[in-house]
Structure 1
Amino acid sequence: MKYQLAQINIAKLLKPINHPQIADFVNQLDEINALAEKSEGFVWRLKDDNSNDATGLSPFLNPNIIVNMSVWENAEVLKNYVYNSDHSKVFLRRKEWFEKPTKSHMALWWIEEGKFPTVQQAKEKLEYLQKNGNSEVAFTFRDIKNPPKN
């Protein structure tokens, strides 16, 4: 059996998503999402029913907490996209749009190739990481775990 890397990351907006202070972030979403989709190792990303992103979803019961989920072939390609592509320019500006997280805001975990996580599964992985720290269940870039052995 082969595995792929799933990820969830959340961020709490400083203002509602339609506020002018957040507009520059929103205006870059299509470009950054398209960049992800054409990046080496990209497999899938979460989108809501009404747009090309997931900003309309509120799994954390707070409309100012936005969620991003995706699946990648491995940790190296995801890391390359996050830190070595134009995504990093948006990432470096995050203080303009988002509150500083007080707990883990991103989780990684391995899934069977060809399967995609639900928002609820991803939320559970993030909550597990927040409560228990890095483990085989959920981890971060600081301590990437190997895929399960068959």
Structure 2
Amino acid sequence: MAKFHLAQVNISKLLEPIDSPLLADFVAQLDEINALAEQSKGFVWRLKGDNENATALRVFDDEMIIINMSVWETMEDLKEFAFKTAHAMVMKDRNRWFEKPQDASLALWWIPENHIPTASEAKERLMSINKNGSTSFAFTFKHVFLPTID
């Protein structure tokens, strides 16, 4: 029987450049939160660049959009990290650093156990949510779909 992991992407549009004083508090917390993710139950992988985080990677045409991607063994593992750790406390302050999203900023989808998602996949999943809402192809925490074999 095939085994699946949960991929997630979230994007945010910065209010100012990443090296601005406004973003200093956010940037100062990145290493700690990323280390927490990597030590969390069910963590599999996360997107990172040369600086050990993904803030320097430009996946979208807009230079102010930053991306975060990760893979988790289960939905429960991702929810535990996202909502019940220091990560949740950092995200309570997100309006200080990021614009309020107009389109989908989060997408979740199931992947085969040993697959590493690409930025192209992530963009496609976000576009799908914007166009179709939550489906088995791409969904949100509010409308979760179970993995299926295609």
Does TM, scored on the shorter chain, surpass 0.5? yes
**Deviant stretches of 4+, over 4 Å:** none
SS at match of 1:5: strand
Aligned-partner residue type, residue 103 of structure 2: K
Distance 1:14 1:119, change over 3 A: same
Residues 1-150 of structure 1 aligned to structure 2 (within 5 Å): 1-48=2-49, 50-149=50-149
The Cα shift of 1:61 comes to 1.4
The Cα shift of 1:74 comes to 1.0
The Cα shift of 1:98 comes to 0.3
Q: Could you tell me how far apart the structure 2 residues matched to 1:63 and 1:37 are? A: 27
Structure 1 vs Structure 2 CA RMSD: 0.9
SS at match of 2:142: helix
SS at match of 1:143: coil
What TM-score do the two structures reach when normalised by structure 1?
0.97
The superposition leaves residues 87-132 of structure 1 with CA deviations (integer Å, 9 ceiling, x where unpaired) of 0110100011000011110000000001110111111111111111
Aligned-partner residue type, residue 79 of structure 2: K
The Cα shift of 1:56 comes to 0.9
Length, aligned pairs only: 149
Q: Could you tell me how far apart the structure 1 residues matched to 2:112 and 2:82 are? A: 22
Aligned-partner residue type, residue 99 of structure 1: E
Runs of 5+ unmatched residues, structure 1:
none
The superposition leaves residues 72-95 of structure 1 with CA deviations (integer Å, 9 ceiling, x where unpaired) of 011111011010001011010001
Q: Could you tell me how far apart the structure 1 residues matched to 2:70 and 2:121 are? A: 13
SS at match of 2:11: strand
Q: Could you tell me how far apart the structure 2 residues matched to 1:127 and 1:26 are? A: 27
Aligned-partner residue type, residue 106 of structure 1: L
Q: Could you tell me how far apart the structure 2 residues matched to 1:67 and 1:61 are? A: 12
Aligned-partner residue type, residue 97 of structure 1: W
Q: Could you tell me how far apart the structure 2 residues matched to 1:64 and 1:18 are? A: 11
The Cα shift of 1:149 comes to 4.3
